[in-house]
Amino acid sequence: MEKHLLVMNSVTRVARRAQASVILAFALFFAFPVITMVVKFARVSELIHSITDQSLRDVWWFTFWQAIVSTVLAVLVALPFTWAISRHTIRFSRAMTGFITVPFLMPAVVVATGIKAILPNAAVPGILWAHVVFNVAVVVRMVSPQWMLLDRAIENTAADLGAGRIRTFFYVVLPHIRTSLRSAITVVFLFCFTSFAIVTILGGISHRTIESEIFTQAVRLGNTRTATSLAVLQAAVVLIVIRFSRASPLKLDDPSQTIQAYSEPPTRLRGVILLSLAAPLFIVLTPFVAVIIRSFTLKGRFTISGYRWLFDGSTESVGVNISHTLTTSFMFATLCAVLATTAALIISMARNRTSFIPVLTALPLTISAVTLGLGLIVTFNTWPFNWRSQWWLIPVIHSVIALPLSLRTLQPAIEAIPTDLYDASASLGASPWRTWARIELPLIRPALMRAAGFAAAVSLGEFGATSFLSRSNSMTIPIAIGQLLSHPGEMPNQSAFALATLVTIVIALAPQVRRRHR
Amino acid sequence: MKKILALLIAGSALASCAIQSESSNDIPKEITLIAYDAFTPEKGVFDDFTTQYGPKVNVVTAGDTGAMVSKAILTAGNPEGDVIFGIDNTFISRAVSGKVLDEYQAVDEGDVCVNFDKSWFASRNIAVPTTFEDFVKPQYKGLLSVEDPVNSAPGFAFLLASIHHFGEDRWQTYWKQLKANSVRVSADWTSAYTADFSGSTGKGKYPLVVSYGSSPPAEVMFAEIPLTDAPTGVITSTCFHSVEYVGMLRGTKHQKMARALVEYLLAKKFQESMPTTLFVYPVNKAAVLPEVFTKYAVRPTTTETFDAATIEKNRDGWIDAWRNIFL
């Protein structure tokens, strides 16, 4: 063990030094604006009011229970799917994982519109459904890598010793996937707890979360103080959740065991596997099918006029320049993927011994997007920080928001690399940097891609903090769809659905194409 | 760390250069116009301004009107731009008390009215309602969709129109009756107009919706198949008169150019471009209306409206009272 720490030193040292600048940038673009807001507007009397006020208490109650129910539902839908793809060799399993991830990459406004087309009047079922649609991918993507590593021999031994499937799941599988499942549950809960766009669009007037209430108070009613106090309380709750859910260190697996993890599905299980895959896909993809069908129909007839309108430049008359919007969105997504993944890689490589930095970088999950958004406007408005109207501020803020997710994707992968490998490499005479480039990097490449994918997704769908920044020629896809939907007339509406469909198709196909090129 | 520091210093040095060059030069390279998201001016409409005065006009959108005003208040005195377009009479008092503006004046006007689906009423041989009172009658039960006045500007305008019409002592009773007559309250205009309403793209169940007086011409202009008549109409006795303002932001470094831009926005050329791009009416009497407006838009002869100060003074109380009826 000592030897291992010794050989890692020169890599770790450089990473720690780089980490300092990452933390500095993080403090500047996240902590600074949030603290400015809190100092300017939070008051103790308002904090008390935010807890005691009856109507706000109802909001707290709804926020909690919808987040808990959404999380439970998302896990219940996701686990069978994760089991099927992690434990069996199935044709098209990568494609199916790709499809189930599509919603996570989609702007909330698209999901909400699709669900509204199916359930026009059911606010609460709509919200829960939308949360499931978004978060199934989180569970699948976070839990499946660890589940894949479970040695089949252990399960077989359990079976040989007479344990049934359920017993095996609770006593063998669950302890094995516990850390990643716990992280996934935490992330899903926090996403649902701080849900904004979904609740605003589907919740109607009577279903409000703290996050949507912060928006209403700050932007609609002009009560910045109440809003900031609510944001402080919300952050406190989220911090407590993170604190209590902190994953215990991963037990490292011997990689030689993983070879036996997959198996051809036994015939008697075929039906169960098929159902485990089909049901979640159906639940998750139906809203998008609704959007796609809607984009080709107008008043009960088939039409492609929405697409024609998009491509002949007509949307410019309602303020949407499609090619510009697409270029901007994809440029921001690329920048965000690069920035957030690099930062996450640096932090993971620094191998921090305390949990201080992971907790610190989890903070963007805790702070309301509205608070951060307003904070950006009041903070970055004076020399030498006069950046609020700079285009690059948008991808930088996207990266800050994406960092917790990228880090949580990357760090377990790095920690899961068996120390034996480093030792072996070192004893064969490889320098720490060579070991890093030849052993560590190839091993974490899938996790790196996943982290970059998540970051790009956050950027593509972000409809919170940066939507408060004023824009000059930097419209992103969700904002463009929102703009088209909020204009009277058939064609702007029709082209909003066409744009949503295009985004769905591009996002669904992109990973498949990349795979083929490999 | 050092690199970031160096970048910071370089960045701030550049910023200070920019500030100096702007203040030493009378005519800035660019002048910034803050507007709401739906500000979609005609392409090239500011070219004449640049030719005449020099600066390019940089349009910056800041969200919907409410978000734009909230942000302007948070940045009052150190504004994001030089001129602000589109604060309406429901928000102007808040902006004024937030010390956002140096000076302001009306730039356009329009109406928020109940729209109806012509074919829905025609095919059922039901008379189109004509007054506020009609909406609570049993034959119009479950036909009207309105927006949440907290989140939606037209929703708030309709609430104001009803308060003005019924007076402080009777409006709450009216809304209770509306509720009993199954009025639909949607979160925002998009849900109400494009999903609930039967007369536009949605296949909604509600043939009556709170929208704009200029929505019928928009239906004609943006129809898939060219129309000879608007599919929707306006119930003129339900209209709330809305006025939008243009103002010079307090703290602008380019007062002279800001005034010039305000003048430009009030002049005939820009005013005539507004109806078909922003779906509002010009305030400049010399501006000529386009045919699609004279033909399909209806202007009410009388409207329900309050002065801006009354709205600001009562806003919270009215909204609370309304929320108590519906939440």
Query: Per-residue pLDDT averaged across A57-71, rounded?
Result: 95
User: Given its phi and psi angles, is residue A43 left (phi above 0), alpha (psi -120 to 50 degrees) or beta?
Assistant: beta
Q: pLDDT above 70 covers what percent of chain A? A: 92
B27-109+242-294 in CATH: which number? Answer: 3.40.190.10
Question: Contact A156/A87 with Cβ under 8 angstroms?
Answer: no
Distance CA B152, CA B148 (A): 6
Question: Contact A107/A477 with Cβ under 8 angstroms?
Answer: yes
Question: Contact A343/A461 with Cβ under 8 angstroms?
Answer: no
Asked if pLDDT for residue A247 goes beyond 70, the answer is no
What stretch of H or E contains A148? helix A123-148
CB-based contacts of B183: which residues, under 8 Å, 6+ apart?
B135, B144, B145, B146
Residue A173's pLDDT is 86
* The token pair that represents A242 in the structure block: 């993170």
- A125 confidence band (pLDDT: 50, 70, 90): very high
Average pLDDT score over chain B: 88
Question: Contact B235/B128 with Cβ under 8 angstroms?
Answer: yes
Q: Which 229-268 residues of chain B touch chain A by CB within 8 A?
A: none
Q: Which of B31, B57, B30 is nearest to B46 (CA)?
A: B57
Q: Does A390 touch chain B (CB under 8 A)?
A: no
Q: Does B87 touch chain A (CB under 8 A)?
A: no
A378 and A441 both lie in a single domain:
yes
Asked if pLDDT for residue A249 goes beyond 50, the answer is no
Asked if pLDDT for residue B5 goes beyond 50, the answer is no
Q: Does B44 touch chain A (CB under 8 A)?
A: no
CA dihedral A380, A385, A388, A391 (to 10 degrees): -150
Q: Does A20 touch chain B (CB under 8 A)?
A: yes
Nearest to A205 among B200, B211, B327 (CB): B327
Nearest to A488 among B200, B204, B327 (CB): B200
Which of the pair, B220 or A470, is modelled with greater confidence? B220
**Which residues from A are below 8 Å from B1, CB to CB?**
17, 20-21, 24
Which of the pair, A265 or A166, is modelled with greater confidence? A166
Distance CA B9, CA A437 (A): 34
User: Given its phi and psi angles, is residue B94 left (phi above 0), alpha (psi -120 to 50 degrees) or beta?
Assistant: alpha
A25 and A70 both lie in a single domain:
no
As for how many domains chain A has, the answer is 2
**In a domain? residue A113:** yes
- A1 confidence band (pLDDT: 50, 70, 90): very low
Residue A7's pLDDT is 46
- A258 confidence band (pLDDT: 50, 70, 90): very low
**In a domain? residue A449:** yes
Q: Which long-range contacts (CB under 8 A, 24 or more apart) does A381-386 make?
A: A381/B75, A381/B78, A381/B80, A382/B78, A383/B12, A383/B15, A383/B16, A383/B19, A384/B8, A384/B11, A384/B12, A384/B15, A384/B16, A386/B15
Cβ B74–A224 below 8 Å, yes or no? Answer: yes
Query: Per-residue pLDDT averaged across B242-257, rounded?
Result: 94
What would the pLDDT profile of B112-132 be if each residue is shown by its tens digit?
Answer: 999 999 999 999 999 999 999
Last residue of a domain, one of A282, A312, A329: A282
Nearest to A201 among B70, B187, B215 (CB): B187
CATH code of the domain containing A334: 1.10.3720.10
Cβ A470–B34 below 8 Å, yes or no? Answer: yes
Cβ B38–A221 below 8 Å, yes or no? Answer: no
**Which residues from A are below 8 Å from B62, CB to CB?**
470-471
Q: Does A219 touch chain B (CB under 8 A)?
A: yes
Cβ A377–B12 below 8 Å, yes or no? Answer: no
A47 and A26 both lie in a single domain:
no
A370 and A387 both lie in a single domain:
yes
A72 and A27 both lie in a single domain:
no
The phi, psi pair for B112, rounded to 5°, reads: -105, 120
Cβ B327–A222 below 8 Å, yes or no? Answer: no
Asked if pLDDT for residue B239 goes beyond 90, the answer is yes
Please state whether beta strands B208-212 and B101-117 pair in parallel, antiparallel, or not at all (unpaired): antiparallel
Cβ B12–A383 below 8 Å, yes or no? Answer: yes
Asked if pLDDT for residue A410 goes beyond 50, the answer is yes
A158 and A246 both lie in a single domain:
yes
**In a domain? residue A214:** yes
Range of A26's domain?
Answer: 1-36+320-491
A30 and A51 both lie in a single domain:
no
The full set of domain ranges for chain B reads 27-109+242-294, 111-241+297-326
The type of residue at A190 is L
* The token pair that represents A64 in the structure block: 């909690």
Q: Which of A321, A282, A5, A330 is nearest to A132 (CA)?
A: A282
Task: Dihedral sign for Cα B175, B176, B178, B179, please.
Answer: positive
A116 and A251 both lie in a single domain:
yes
Count CA within 13 A, CB hemisphere, residue A357: 23
CB-based contacts of B197: which residues, under 8 Å, 6+ apart?
B115, B117, B145, B204, B206, B207, B208, B209, B211
Min Cα–Cα distance to chain B from A316, Å: 8
CB-based burial of residue A382 (10 Å sphere; 0-12 exposed, 13-18 middle, 19+ buried)? exposed
Residue of A nearest to B316 (CA): A221
DSSP sequence for A103-147: HHHS-HHHHHHHHHHH-TT-HHHHHHHHHHHHHHHHHHHHHHHHH
Distance CA A503, CA A40 (A): 40
A18 and A96 both lie in a single domain:
no
- A263 confidence band (pLDDT: 50, 70, 90): low
Distance CA A231, CA A226 (A): 9
Distance CA A461, CA A505 (A): 15
Residue A172's pLDDT is 84
Asked if pLDDT for residue B23 goes beyond 50, the answer is no
**In a domain? residue A289:** no
**Which residues from B are below 8 Å from A479, CB to CB?**
37
> Would you give the distance in Å from CA B275 to the centre of its chain?
13
What would the pLDDT profile of A70-113 be if each residue is shown by its tens digit?
Answer: 999 999 999 999 998 888 877 777 778 878 887 877 778 788 88
Residue A265's pLDDT is 66
Min Cα–Cα distance to chain A from B136, Å: 21
Residue A262's pLDDT is 59
**In a domain? residue A298:** no
**In a domain? residue A476:** yes
Nearest to A317 among B12, B40, B196 (CB): B40
Cβ A381–B61 below 8 Å, yes or no? Answer: no
Select B111-241+297-326's CATH number: 3.40.190.10, 2.60.120.620, 3.40.50.300, 3.30.930.10. 3.40.190.10
Q: Does A325 touch chain B (CB under 8 A)?
A: no
Residue B22's pLDDT is 45
CA dihedral A327, A378, B254, B250 (to 10 degrees): 130
Cβ A203–B148 below 8 Å, yes or no? Answer: no
Residue B202's pLDDT is 67
Most confident of A196-205, A295-304, B22-31: A295-304
What would the pLDDT profile of B201-231 be if each residue is shown by its tens digit?
Answer: 767 889 999 999 989 988 888 888 888 888 9
DSSP sequence for B176-200: HHHHHTT-EEESSHHIIIIIIBSSS
**In a domain? residue A468:** yes
Nearest to B12 among A220, A317, A384 (CB): A384
- A511 confidence band (pLDDT: 50, 70, 90): low
**In a domain? residue A108:** yes
Asked if pLDDT for residue A315 goes beyond 90, the answer is no
For an interface test with A, give the residue of B97, B178, B224, B253 to mutate (most A CBs within 10 A): B224
Query: Per-residue pLDDT averaged across A209-218, rounded?
Result: 88
Q: Does B74 touch chain A (CB under 8 A)?
A: yes
Average pLDDT score over chain A: 83
A271 and A390 both lie in a single domain:
no
What would the pLDDT profile of A352-409 be if each residue is shown by its tens digit?
Answer: 777 778 778 878 877 878 888 888 888 888 778 888 878 899 899 999 989 988 888 7
What would the pLDDT profile of A28-52 be if each residue is shown by its tens digit?
Answer: 999 999 999 889 888 888 888 888 8
- B18 confidence band (pLDDT: 50, 70, 90): very low
| Range in A299-313, A402-416, B33-47, B130-144 the model is least confident about | A402-416
Residue of B nearest to A303 (CA): B224
Give the C-alpha distances (Å, rounded to integers) separating A262 from A86, A90, A147, A148.
Answer: 7, 10, 10, 7
- A2 confidence band (pLDDT: 50, 70, 90): very low
Min Cα–Cα distance to chain A from B68, Å: 9
Task: Dihedral sign for Cα A504, A309, B217, B274, please.
Answer: positive
Question: Contact A362/A411 with Cβ under 8 angstroms?
Answer: no
Residue A4's pLDDT is 46
Which of the pair, A72 or B308, is modelled with greater confidence? A72
Q: Does A334 touch chain B (CB under 8 A)?
A: no
* Three-state SS annotation for A399-414: HHHHHHHHHHHHHHHH
Query: Helix or strand or coil: residue A324?
Result: helix
Asked if pLDDT for residue A311 goes beyond 70, the answer is yes
A185 and A225 both lie in a single domain:
yes
Cβ A222–B74 below 8 Å, yes or no? Answer: no
Asked if pLDDT for residue A253 goes beyond 50, the answer is no
Q: pLDDT above 90 covers what percent of chain A? A: 23
A126 and A23 both lie in a single domain:
no
Radius of gyration of chain A (CA): 24
Domains B27-109+242-294 and B111-241+297-326 share a fold: yes
